[in-house]
Amino acid sequence: MKCKNILTALMCLIPVLASAGVREELMALESAKASPVTTLNPAASPVVLPPSLMQLPDGRRANMKDYAVVLFMQAHCQYSAKFDPLLKGWADEHNIRVYPYTLDGGGDGSYPNPLVPRKTDPASPIADEIVTFFGNGLPIATPTAFVVNVNTLKAYPLTQGMMEIPTLENRWASLIQADMDNVDPNALPPLPASAQVTPK
């Protein structure tokens, strides 16, 4: 009986402990918002930005917590197998969330448990996420990645096929600037062509 009471008490504490962790995380986010941002002075020593802030080419700073990458990959795609570790390393370095979706039901070493696109309408021939991201005419192929503003849910095509990190970083910065300037994603130039893709 005593073990049962202890187990019941512990079960009751789990939601409290979980909400305490969430509360602490939210408080940390709020305090980061309130802290002053140091301006850059070229004559002074370089300013080290917090990992969630990224300096853009035009001098503005973007909070990477406002953005995420939606990645479409396949377990059997040789190009996903090469690109995904590069993307994961870069995203981890800059505290950028990546939401991987699998087109063939499998994961890889970088994203072993990807999300599976879902259909809210069982009669629909294509899953909702596929329509949302590829509905503008972009071929359904992997790897394909999009920049998403998590507040507005605007999506910008980041890459389709293999892309080296310096090129990806430049494109990322230009897409973040476009988003900050409220540029329509359809008004952007098309993605650079790449033959290193696996069609769905």
Cα–Cα distance for residue pair 73/172, rounded to 1 Å: 19
> Residue 144 sits in a domain of what CATH number?
3.40.30.10
C-alpha pair distances (Å), 104 with each of 80, 141, 150, 155, 195: 12, 11, 26, 22, 20
Q: 3-class SS at 56? A: coil
Q: What is the pLDDT of residue 175?
A: 94
CA angle, 104 as apex, 100 and 107 as ends, to 5°?
A: 45
Is residue 77 domain-resident? Answer: yes
CB atoms near residue 107 (< 10 Å): 18
In this predicted structure, the answer to whether residue 159 has a pLDDT above a threshold of 80 is: yes
Q: Which long-range contacts (CB under 8 A, 24 or more apart) does 109-118 make?
A: 109/81, 109/84, 109/85, 110/84, 110/85, 111/71, 111/73, 111/84, 114/73
Domain that holds residue 62: 53-184+195-199
The number of distinct structural domains making up the chain is 1
Q: 3-class SS at 54? A: strand
Name the band, by pLDDT with cuts 50, 70 and 90, for residue 53: confident
What is the average per-residue pLDDT within 163-189?
A: 91
Is residue 76 domain-resident? Answer: yes
pTM of the model: 0.72
Q: What is the pLDDT of residue 9?
A: 43
Is residue 45 domain-resident? Answer: no
Residue with tokens 């507040």: 151
Q: 3-class SS at 168? A: helix
